[in-house]
Amino acid sequence: MRILDFRSDTVTKPSPEMRAAMASADVGDDILDRDPTMDRLERRVAEMLGHEAGLWTPSGCMANAIALMAHLQRGDRFLAPALAHVMGQELGTPAWLAGGLPEVLPWEGGPGKLTPHQVARNAANSGAYYALRTTLLCLENTHNFAGGTFYSALEHRALVEAARNHGLKVHLDGARLWNASAASGAALQDLAWGVDSVSVCLSKGLGAPMGSVLCGSRGLIEQTRRLRKMLGGAVRQGGVVAAAGLAALDHLPRLAEDHAMARRLAEGLRALGFNVADPPTNILMVPVLDIPLALRVLEDAGIRALPVGSALRFLTHRDLTPADVEDALLRMKPLVEPLLTTWEGPRPMV
C-alpha cells in the first residue's frame, strides 16, 4: 500500500531534473569569495520579491532567527500573531538568540490575521527613557497553523503602513509567500512590499531538499551574512544546493494544483460527513476530539497527517496527485464510523 503523506509539503523529494541541476552546478567557495550559483539564486529571489539583496540560509528557522537578531536589541518588544511560527515553532530563538520580548496578538482580522488598527494600538511607544520599547512587527503569510490563510496585497500594505507610522520595523515570515501569491493573484513584490526583511522557503511546496532565502536592503543583507556565519550557516560549495533552489523556482506555476487538491480533499471529506471548511491554500485543518485514535486509524489506512493543537493538519504538495487525493478519500470511506467519533467541526484554535 502506497503511503499517502499529507503531513507537510516539506516531505517532497528532489525531482530528477533538480538532482541533475545539482550534479552539474557551477560552484565556488561561498565563504571566501562567493559561490556563483548561490549568488545567482540570491539575486534571483531578491529580484522576484522586489528587494535589493538576498541571503541563502539552510532553513527557514535560521532565516527568521537571523532577521530578528538583526532587527532587535535585547529587551525590545516585538509583535506577532498567535500561533506564529516564530512564536511556537522556533524553540524560543527570538528570545534566546535575538533577545526579543514577544507579544502575541490575537487574530482580530480573521484566522491567522492581524488588523492595522490592532498593530497601531499595540505599537505605542511613549519614548520615555523608562518605557519598554516596541520595535518590530512579525507578519506570517501564509499563516501555517491558522490553516494557510493569506493576506491580500492591500491588507499587507495597510499592515506595513500601520507599523511604519508607529516606528516599527517589519519582518515577514513568508515561508509560503508563494502560496499566498498563487491564491490571491497578487504579485510577490506586492506581498513583500515595504518590509525590512522577508524570508521564503524553497524546501516546501517548491520541493528543494533544503534552503530559504532572506531578502532585504543591501545593508541589511551584508549584516545578516555575518550573523549567518556566526550561527554556522555559511557553507562552502553551496552551489550544489542553490542549484536545487533555482530549479525549485520552476515549480511556482504548479502551486495552484496543490490548492485545488486541498479543496477537493475538503469537499470529499464533507461528502463523507466531516465538518471541514474550504482551505484558502494548501493546508486543511481538521479539528479532532481524539488525536491519537484518529492518527492510528489513518495510519492503518496508510494516510499520514500532522497533529497541530486540537486539529489534524493535511497538506497537499507536489509529491501527491489528484488521484492520490481520491485514493485517500476512498480509504477513509470505510473508516467514517471510527473517524467521526474522533472528529469535530471547525472551531477557532485560540
Ligand X SMILES: *Cc1c(COP(=O)(O)O)cnc(C)c1O
Residues that bind ligand X (CB under 6 A): 59-61, 64, 85, 140, 144, 173, 175, 201, 203, 212
Nearer to ligand X, 180 or 266 (CB): 180
Nearer to ligand X, 234 or 339 (CB): 234
Q: Which residues pair with 79 in a beta bridge?
A: 103, 137
Nearer to ligand X, 59 or 223 (CB): 59
- To the nearest whole angstrom, how small is the minimum distance from the Cβ of residue 341 to ligand X? 31
Nearer to ligand X, 57 or 134 (CB): 57
- To the nearest whole angstrom, how small is the minimum distance from the Cβ of residue 143 to ligand X? 7
Nearer to ligand X, 12 or 203 (CB): 203
For residue 231, what is its C-alpha cell?
Answer: 550561527
- To the nearest whole angstrom, how small is the minimum distance from the Cβ of residue 165 to ligand X? 26
- To the nearest whole angstrom, how small is the minimum distance from the Cβ of residue 85 to ligand X? 3
DSSP 63-81: HHHHHHHHH--TT-EEEEE
C-alpha closest to that of 110 among 163, 158, 147, 164: 147
Nearer to ligand X, 15 or 212 (CB): 212
Which strands sit side by side in the sheet containing 134-140, from one edge to the other? 53-57, 212-216, 197-201, 169-173, 134-140, 77-81, 101-105
> Where are the extended beta strands (E) located within 106-220?
134-140, 169-173, 197-201, 212-216
Task: Name the region of 294 (left: φ>0; alpha: ψ -120 to 50; beta: rest).
Answer: alpha
Tell me the residue number closest to ligand X, measured at CB.
60
- To the nearest whole angstrom, how small is the minimum distance from the Cβ of residue 60 to ligand X? 2
- To the nearest whole angstrom, how small is the minimum distance from the Cβ of residue 86 to ligand X? 7
Nearer to ligand X, 55 or 339 (CB): 55
Nearer to ligand X, 210 or 340 (CB): 210
What are the residues whose beta carbons fall under 8 Å from the beta carbon of 235, sequence distance 6 or more? 30, 31, 58, 241
- To the nearest whole angstrom, how small is the minimum distance from the Cβ of residue 64 to ligand X? 6
Q: Which residue has the cell 534552503?
A: 211
Distance (Å, rounded) from C-alpha 111 to C-alpha 301? 31
Handedness of CA 130, 101, 349, 180 (dihedral sign): positive
CA 64 to chain CA centroid, Å, is 11
Regarding beta strands 311-315 and 283-287, do their DSSP bridges make them parallel or antiparallel, or are they unpaired? Answer: antiparallel
- To the nearest whole angstrom, how small is the minimum distance from the Cβ of residue 110 to ligand X? 17
What are the residues whose beta carbons fall under 8 Å from the beta carbon of 233, sequence distance 6 or more? 57, 58, 62, 66
